[in-house]
Amino acid sequence: MGRVSLEGIEFHAYHGVFSEEKKLGNRFTVDIHVFTDFKKAMVEDDLKATVDYFRIYQIAKSHMQEPVKLLEHLAHLMIQDILVVYPSLRQIDVIIKKHNPALGGVVNYSVVEVSYPNDYD
């Protein structure tokens, strides 16, 4: 088994509960790790035998463009769409960071991490 990851994907998006977040938006960073068997891809040099991280990026980008209230829900939506494309994945970890959340003090970012299958049990 191996891991294919995209780390530090940056977006400006409008996710959040508060009206200011929905109007002004914020900077977000997304990390996605998918775990799969890619032995065939290693031997045969064939993209079809592994996970195409361009498709993973496209899924993340499409969900970042559709505002939701909770980052937990956003990560869940990404995982669901990744599983549609790659149903045989053994594990998916999605980490979403909201930079400088409006909490009334200095906070670098808030973080939500959702894992499939663990958080789906």
What confidence tens digit (pLDDT) does each residue in 66-96 have? 999 999 999 999 999 999 999 999 999 999 9
Tell me if residue 39 is catalytic: no
pLDDT in tens, 10-49: 999 999 998 888 899 999 999 999 999 999 999 999 999 9
Measured CA angle at 82 (ends 44, 117), to 5 deg = 100
The pLDDT of residue 110 is above 90: yes
CATH 3.40.50.261 for domain 2-120? no
Specify whether the CB–CB gap between 13 and 65 falls below 8 A. Answer: yes
